[in-house]
Amino acid sequence: MVRVTYVTCPQCKKEYYLRTEDFSENRDANTECPFCTKEFKPEEGHPHPPFSRRE
């Protein structure tokens, strides 16, 4: 499993990353943008590498 997954905040468009393990095991969890505090599902942030390539 890759260590981190980049996402782009749908509100401020800035990029940061998540610990893949935490969020892949909790698919319903929101992430929170560290720059603008927007909460969103990682899938909405165009995660890369994509979920399908994580395992």
Partner 1 sequence: MKDLRTFFADYSRLFPEEIVSIDRAVDAKWHASAVATKAERACKTSPVLIFNQLRLLNGAISAYPAVVNLLSSRRRLAWTIESTVERFAIDLSSRIRQKKKPLVVSKSEAPVKEVVKKGPEVNLLDYPALVQHAWDPGQYITAGFLTCYDPDTGIDNCALQRGWIKKEREIRIHIGHHSHNGMIFSKHERAKKGMKAIYWIGHHPAAYLGAEVKLGFPESHYESAGGVLGEPLRLVPSETLGDDFLVPADAEVVIEGIIPNGQRRPEAPFGEHLGYFGGQTLSPYMDVTCITHRKKPYWLTILCSHLDEKEGIGGARREATLYEILRKAVPGVTNVYRPASCPIHLYIQMKKRKESDPRQAILAAISAPEGIKHVFVFDEDINIFDEPEVLWAIGTRSQWDKDLVVVPNCNAAGLDPSCERDGMGTRAGIDCTKPLPPEVFEQRTFIPDEIMNQVLIEDYIPQETLAKLTHGV
- Site size for partner 1, by CB under 8 A? 22
Which residue in the set 10, 16, 41, 51 belongs to the binding site for partner 1 (CB under 8 A)?
Answer: 16
Q: Does 26 bind partner 1 (CB under 8 A)?
A: yes
Q: Does 19 bind partner 1 (CB under 8 A)?
A: yes
Smallest gap from residue 52 Cβ to partner 1 (A): 18
Concatenated DSSP letters for 6-48?
EEE-TTT--EEEEEHHHHHS-TTPPEE-TTT--EE-GGGG--B
Q: Does 9 bind partner 1 (CB under 8 A)?
A: no
Dist CA 52 CA 14 (whole Å): 23
